[in-house]
Structure 1
Amino acid sequence: MGKPTGFLEYERRNGQITAPADRIQNFREFHGMLSWEEQRLQGARCMDCGVPFCQAGVTIGGMVSGCPLHNLVPEINDMVYRGNWEQAYIRLSRTHCLPEFTSRVCPALCESACTCGLHADPVSTRENERAVIEYAFAHGLVNARPPKVRTGKRVAVVGSGPAGLAAAIQLNRRGHSVTIYERNDRPGGLLRYGIPNMKLEKDVVDRRVRLMEESGIRFVCNTNIGKDVSGQELLKQYDRVLLACGAGTPRDIAVPGRDALGIWFAVDFLTMVTRRLLDSNFSGTPDEPVRGRRVLVIGGGDTGNDCVGTVIRLGASSVTQLEMMPKAPERCAQNNPWPEWPRVLKTDYGQEEAASVFGCDPRIYQTTVTGFKKDPKGNVCGARLVTLKPEKDETTGRVNMVPVEGSEKEIPADLVLIAAGFLGSEPSVAEAFGLKLDGRMNVATQADGYRTGNDRVFAAGDMRRGQSLVVWAIAEGREAAREVDESLMGYSNPV
């Protein structure tokens, strides 16, 4: 696929990235695109490798290697190389209905499994994907596709994040009448409020929502199922219900001083910032809770990084980010061979910006919080930290991070953002339908399926599998839609 000698002739090139000092002045996307001709040469780098792990989406070494959507990556790259953009879009659309999102926010599992990346830079598959979908939008190839015939079946999708949107698109294409319920004021779920604008501009979300509405999908916002509308009411109105509400229960930190003012869950903070930016049409900056404050971010994952990038744009005087685990190696260890997901040190945009503004990486590894300090008014003013060390439990064989005696210290902090992950789905929606949760607080479904204990109710995405990636949510939404369709029609024929 691609040019047989392309990987020898062309080096990997990415779209231009705005320098940290410039991009922190606003909330706009900062990752540019190559020209169509330049991107063609990146498609040429795709090797005729014979075993395309990039599209496998299989578990190797306990982690997924390759695309969970099973995008036919070599074929798409070949079409990019040949400049056949329309066919590339058609091929991509067979397996993927929301590529404008993954091409911006996915960690590119496909590239980590790329054969070319074994000894050189992998093929820039994610940017190739973005070029394909943006070319398609720019040239009128992405259009509303209302079905020619309706089945008379009605499906309610609860949640308008990536899983819900993907499922709704597939079900609508099959001719079912689909209504999406969203508890927030605007559709998009995680895509709208969980991912900052500089990673995913909300115009991109709006563009897709408009297409879905033109295709006949109905959105009902400001509606919380289980509170505003009961589960029984929904089951009376619809033939099937698909729950795609995400993993909305944040992991808290139960330490002394947790009740201090100025301590936020990360998702609540990011939602507040995005909502105020959208409400003001980006004419105002919601910097009051942040400007001039010393910010502590607890959590080293993607959400923690998003918090770092956000508070820098809002004028924080300093940022510290805590990570419980040891610092990852610069290169893959011997027990982490290709094509396993590389467990190596990754420095994301927020950390880059912090280093540019404050002169150093904000992360402190093997550290956690043991308590918070409050000022006389009850505001958080500091945090007590302790260093951790890995220690193997001889009984279970698990390695736990345990405190190092005598390593306690205090740091100042005027604003604390807890980005320690999620414990599972919020129980209220499951309770509205009388559904059981599993041991991880996810909605329990049948083995290797999406049907819950109620034959007319299905679950998909983070609500079913736990906190995960956007690409996994889309894959789950598509598969759940197939199962819902089969339950309604006796068979499924995805289009």
Structure 2
Amino acid sequence: MADPKGFLTTPRQEWPRRPVAERVHDWNEVQVPGALLPIVGPQADRCMDCGVPFCHEACPLGNLIPEWNDLVSREDWRAAADRLHATNNFPEFTGRLCPAPCEAGCVLAINQPAVTIKNVECAIADRAWEQGFAPPAPPDRLSGRTVAVIGSGPTGLAAAQQLTRAGHTVAVYERDDRIGGLMRYGIPEFKMEKRHLERRVEQMRAEGTKFRTSTTVGRDVEAAELRTRYDAVVIATGATAWRELTVPGRGLTGIHQAMEYLPLANRVCEGDLESSPLSAAGRHVVIVGGGDTGADCLGTAVREGAASVTQLDIYGRPGAERDEDAEPWPTYPKLYRLSAAHEEARDLRTAPAADADARLFAASTLRFTGDADGHVRSLHLVEVDAGRRPVPGTERTLPADLVLLALGFSGPDQGDGLIAQLRLELEPRGTIARDAGFATNAPGVFAAGDAARGQSLIVWAIAEGRAVAAAVDRHLTDGTTRLPAPIRPYDRPMTA
């Protein structure tokens, strides 16, 4: 604990964002470059080095948060990077994309703003790359065993890196043309520039991991054939089966899933396209769904120059303070949060029908109507109560030339044949069934991440990857492993 009074004398200060009027005209990350390092030391000083650090429990990776806070405060960046990478393969990803359940579990958060754990993590990760503290770590010797990892999202990459470093020969199969899964084509550039992803992929290549892109297992390669070629297979394909909205007018053109829209914008940033064929430019956009994916659509539509953008959330507007009865500390509370995209929409007044930041809360879609050519032109909605029941007399109509459905995902996509070819058993909700050791009913086949857990956070995805790697290593050796297993298959976030 570098400063015993830091939490008393220093207020919380977050990484500042660039002015809205500037950042909406580019796709760079929204934070001010170079503005984090000058403030991160005093922010790390606010950590109280608690006797029982609940931030550990709130983080499924078990990040050693008080330790690296203390090291940052003392400007020992190498040691801080070592402690951070001891539990997290990709801290620059979580430092930008994780909603920080660790901060909700911070003991300081009982009665004042939490330590800026996420910002400190990001600063360490970026400093580690700048100063060469994250070199490739190839194994000293190879085991002679081989593993195929299907899917290159955070779970697949974490599992692959752990197994490669343990000495196994690992090949990652990805159906898209580039590595990264949703981090590549689902997460907008303004949230995480893809250079961070490219850097990690190159590190993994230098360690010995092989990558096979543009290869759909189950279609381009038979899943059973893959199983015979490798000593073990890890399925980490994610939960890509999107949820539908079955209301009248859904068949009109101009209504698309978020994951049909976002990848095209990312491909523009990659240089594959000059402009997106689903660009929001000049169009009235309505986003159905109040989560992070909807916010990603919002920020993307703003940058594309939409005439208006409105986001519908079926839940009521949450409060600004934690409900101690329903969501007591240290659980992760549902609060009114202003993401960068919502801040942009608020300042630019992109949604005249919304109260402040483009969101309409407690709003349910009734139907869509279109023009004579069958293109959507209007979305009809109604306010709902806490039980999602329509409130009489509250129907409204919004102009809508482009509707984006951001309703989440139900489980892995079964259209590629992977699940059928391996005859994998499924849970009632559609996810892949597995035992306490991450193993499926198919011998030598393991499942991890959203494909088995269901839609979750990036920090849980990385924890799943690390844990399944330990299970696979145990399967391939004499029943022991030195790889860490931070979670079990049925662990869940803390709840009241």
TM-score with structure 2 setting the length: 0.93
Aligned to 2:282: 292
Q: Percent identity?
A: 42
Q: Does 1:211 align with 2:203?
A: yes
Aligned to 1:3: 3
Aligned to 1:436: 425
Amino acid in the other structure paired with 1:366: A
Aligned to 1:345: 336
Contact 1:225 1:432 survives alignment (8 Å): no
Q: Does 1:46 align with 2:47?
A: yes
Amino acid in the other structure paired with 1:426: D
Amino acid in the other structure paired with 1:370: L
Cα 1:313–1:37 shift into 2, 3 Å: closer
Aligned to 2:228: 236
Aligned to 1:80: 72
Contact 1:2 1:48 survives alignment (8 Å): no
Comparing 458-467 with 255-264, greater Cα deviation is found at 255-264
Q: Does 1:454 align with 2:442?
A: yes
Question: How much has 1:325 moved relative to structure 2?
Answer: 0.9
Aligned to 2:20: 20
Aligned to 2:400: 413
Q: Does 1:354 align with 2:345?
A: yes
Partners in 1 of 2:55 and 2:117 — Cα distance? Answer: 9
Amino acid in the other structure paired with 2:332: W
Deviations 1:369-410 (A, max 9, x none): 12111211111111121221234xxxxxxxxx1222343332
Partners in 2 of 1:316 and 1:14 — Cα distance? Answer: 29
Q: Does 1:274 align with 2:266?
A: yes
Deviations 1:338-392 (A, max 9, x none): 222122211211111111111632111111112111211111111121221234x
Question: How much has 1:13 moved relative to structure 2?
Answer: 2.0
Structure 2's unaligned 5+ residue stretches are 351-355, 485-496
Aligned to 1:63: none
Aligned to 1:331: 321
Report SS of the residue matched to 1:192.
helix
Question: How much has 1:429 moved relative to structure 2?
Answer: 2.3
Cα 1:2–1:190 shift into 2, 3 Å: farther
Question: How much has 1:134 moved relative to structure 2?
Answer: 1.0
Partners in 2 of 1:349 and 1:239 — Cα distance? Answer: 45
Partners in 1 of 2:372 and 2:180 — Cα distance? Answer: 40
Report SS of the residue matched to 2:386.
strand
Aligned to 1:306: 296
Contact 2:264 2:278 survives alignment (8 Å): no
Equivalent of residue 132 in structure 2, options 123, 140, 148: 140
Partners in 1 of 2:366 and 2:278 — Cα distance? Answer: 27
Q: Does 1:111 align with 2:99?
A: no
Contact 1:2 1:74 survives alignment (8 Å): no
Q: What does residue range 253-272 of structure 1 map to in structure 2 within 5 Å?
A: 253-272=245-264
Report SS of the residue matched to 2:410.
strand
Aligned to 1:396: none
Partners in 2 of 1:121 and 1:243 — Cα distance? Answer: 39
Contact 1:285 1:314 survives alignment (8 Å): no
Partners in 2 of 1:86 and 1:34 — Cα distance? Answer: 20
Equivalent of residue 473 in structure 1, options 427, 449, 461: 461
| Coordinate RMSD, CA, aligned | 1.5
Partners in 1 of 2:380 and 2:418 — Cα distance? Answer: 37
Aligned to 2:120: 128
Amino acid in the other structure paired with 1:38: I
Partners in 2 of 1:88 and 1:210 — Cα distance? Answer: 23
Question: How much has 1:285 moved relative to structure 2?
Answer: 4.6
Aligned to 1:381: 377
Aligned to 1:486: 474
Structure 1's unaligned 5+ residue stretches are 57-65, 392-400
Aligned to 1:62: none
Q: Does 1:403 align with 2:390?
A: yes
Aligned to 1:394: none
Question: How much has 1:16 moved relative to structure 2?
Answer: 2.3
Cα 1:334–1:128 shift into 2, 3 Å: closer
Question: How much has 1:35 moved relative to structure 2?
Answer: 5.6
Deviations 1:162-182 (A, max 9, x none): 000000000000000000000
Partners in 2 of 1:288 and 1:442 — Cα distance? Answer: 30
Question: How much has 1:50 moved relative to structure 2?
Answer: 1.5
Comparing 371-380 with 293-302, greater Cα deviation is found at 371-380
Contact 2:71 2:80 survives alignment (8 Å): yes
Question: How much has 1:287 moved relative to structure 2?
Answer: 7.4
Comparing 309-318 with 380-389, greater Cα deviation is found at 380-389
Amino acid in the other structure paired with 1:41: P
TM-score with structure 1 setting the length: 0.93
Deviations 1:289-330 (A, max 9, x none): 311100000000000011001000001000111111111112
Aligned to 1:61: none
Cα 1:403–1:190 shift into 2, 3 Å: same
Comparing 164-173 with 17-26, greater Cα deviation is found at 17-26
Amino acid in the other structure paired with 1:480: V
Equivalent of residue 315 in structure 1, options 305, 310, 334: 305
Question: How much has 1:127 moved relative to structure 2?
Answer: 1.0
Partners in 2 of 1:226 and 1:35 — Cα distance? Answer: 45
Q: Does 1:180 align with 2:180?
A: no
Contact 1:14 1:34 survives alignment (8 Å): no
Cα 1:264–1:142 shift into 2, 3 Å: same
Contact 1:6 1:46 survives alignment (8 Å): yes
Contact 1:99 1:129 survives alignment (8 Å): yes
Aligned to 2:186: 194
Report SS of the residue matched to 1:389.
coil
Question: How much has 1:14 moved relative to structure 2?
Answer: 2.2
Question: How much has 1:449 moved relative to structure 2?
Answer: 3.2
Report SS of the residue matched to 1:241.
strand
